[in-house]
Amino acid sequence: MLTLRDRNCRTALLCALLVTAGTMLISAEQAHGALTGARFVRVVKTDDSINPGDANRFHIGEIEVFGIGATLLPGVDNANDFALSSKGAVGSTVFGTPQHGADSSLVNGALETGGDTWSRQNPLPIVAQVDLGQSVDIGDVRVWQRNDGCCQNRLASFNVELYGDDGNGNIGALVATQSFAGQVPTNSFASFTFNADAIQPTPFEEVSLTASPGESTGSGFGGNINNTLNDPFAYDPDAPVGAFPTVSYSGAAGYHQNQGDGNDAVLVYNLTDGPQTGLEEFVIDLYGRSNCCTDRDDNIDLELYSGGVGGVLVASLNGLAIEPTGQGNNVTEAVPHLRADFSSLLSAGDTFDTIRLVAHDSSAQSGSFFTLMEIRAAKIDAIVPEPTTGLLLLIAGSGALMRRRRAA
C-alpha cells in the first residue's frame, strides 16, 4: 500500500490519487477474479448443422462440474466433481424425457454405453440439466461422450450455460455461457473453463417494442401482430426459456398468416423509446406455437433498420428457424423458441430504430403458413470506462502539470 512517505509521491494530492486508484484496482481485481455462484448447469443443443445425417439425436455420457483451480484427472474425476448424485446433484431433462438411459446417468460418476446412455431426440432445444443443490463457484465443466465408440456424432454443436438460484431453489438468472462447435472427440470430452471473461458482467435490459400493423402483412384466423406483444408472461432476457408465453395458437393469442405460394409474411416493430446506439449486445427472442405445425416457421430473416424500413439496413440475420423443419404436428412437448443475437454484427456507432421480420414461403411440408406467438428484445449498453480509468488519466494529467511547473 502506498503512503505519503513513498519516495515516488511528490505531492500529497498525487499520493492520495495513487492510493485511491490502487485501492479501486485491487477491488476491481477481487470483484472479477471469481465467478458469481451458479447452481444449475445446462447442456443445450440448439443446432443440427454439424451432423445432418443423424441430426435428431443428442447423447451425453456424463456431465462433470469442478470448482475454480481444481487439478483435474484425465479421466472421470469423482474426487473433484460436484455434479454427482452421491454429493446431492440431480440430473434432469428440461423438455420431455430421455429417449433411453436415465436422467440419473448424467451425474452417476460413470461413462455409459449403449442403451444406458442418456439420449434425447428432437425437437430442439434439447436441454440436459444438473442441479448442484447449492450455489458454487464453478471453474470447469466437462461434457463426456458415451464410452463405446458408437454414434459419436450425436454429441456435437451445443452450449453450456450456468444459472444462479432465484432464492427459492429454482433456476435464476444466467451467469455465464460458452459454446462448443463441432463434434466432441471419440470416447472423450469437451472442456469449458469459466473465468472472469466468461461471466455475463451486466444483466440484459428489455427493449420495449411497438407493432406497426400498417407496414406489416395482415394476420388471418383472427390473429393480429399486436398479439405478439401482449402476453404478460415473466420474460427474463437473461433466462429467456425460464418462463413462456401462451404457445397454443388462438385468435386472441399470436399472429398466424397464410402466406400463399411465393409470398412472405412481414412483421415490423418500432423501438418504443427511440433509436438505440452503440450497444454492447442486442438480442431478439421469438416464441412459436407448440400445438401444431412447427415445421412451418422456418427461413426467417430478421433485419435492423435506421430511419424505419425505408431507411438504412444496419444488420440482418437470415435463414433462421423458430423450430427446425421436419417435425410435423407431433411436436407438443417443447416450446419453440429462437434467440437471434446481433451483438457481433453491431459496431460502436451503429444506430437503429426498427425491426423487420420476414418469413419466407419455404415450407412445403404443411402449407404456406407462418405463426409467431410472442417477440421480445433486449440489450446491454456499451461498457463505459471504469472509475479507475478516469483516475489514472487524472494521475497522468497531474504528473504532466507538475513537470510543466518544474520546467517553469
Residue ranges per structural domain of the chain: 1-33+395-408, 38-194, 205-381
Per-residue model confidence (pLDDT) at position 260: 52
Looking at CATH, the fold of the domain delimited by 205-381 is given as: Jelly Rolls (2.60.120)
Closest-CA residue to 335 (of 373, 377, 390, 376): 373
Band of pLDDT at residue 329, cut at 50, 70 and 90: very low
- CA-nearest of 374, 324, 315, 397 to 349 is 315
Contact by Cβ (8 Å): 170, 147:
no
240: pLDDT confidence band, cut at 50, 70 and 90? confident
Cα distances from 103 to residues 14, 58, 120, 199, in angstroms, run 61, 13, 10, 28
Average pLDDT over residues 314-325: 80
139-143, 232-236, 333-337, 343-347: least confident range? 333-337
Tell whether the model's pLDDT for residue 52 goes beyond 90: no
Residue pair 175/165 in contact by the 8 Å Cβ criterion: no
Residue 276 banded pLDDT, cuts 50, 70, 90: very high
Residue at 139: amino acid letter: G
Residue 129's pLDDT is 96
Confidence of residue 391 (pLDDT cuts 50, 70, 90): very low
Task: Indicate whether 386 pLDDT > 80.
Answer: no
Percent of residues, the chain, with pLDDT higher than 90: 43
pLDDT of residue 30: 31
| pLDDT tens-digit map of 5-37 | 233 343 444 444 433 333 333 233 333 334 448
For residues 404 and 255, which has the higher predicted lDDT (pLDDT)? 255
State how far the Cα of 4 lies from the Cα of 19, in Å rounded to an integer.
9
> Which grid coordinates are listed for 89?
446433484
pLDDT the model gives residue 247:
73
Distance between alpha carbon 155 and the CA centroid of its chain, in Å? 19
More confident residue, 325 or 80: 80
Cβ(141)–Cβ(160) below 8 Å = yes
Q: Which of 219-233, 253-267, 378-392 has the lowest mean pLDDT?
A: 378-392
Torsion region of 407: left, alpha or beta (phi above 0 gives left; psi -120 to 50 gives alpha): alpha
pLDDT value at residue 118: 95
- Say how many Å lie between the first and final Cα of the chain, rounded: 32
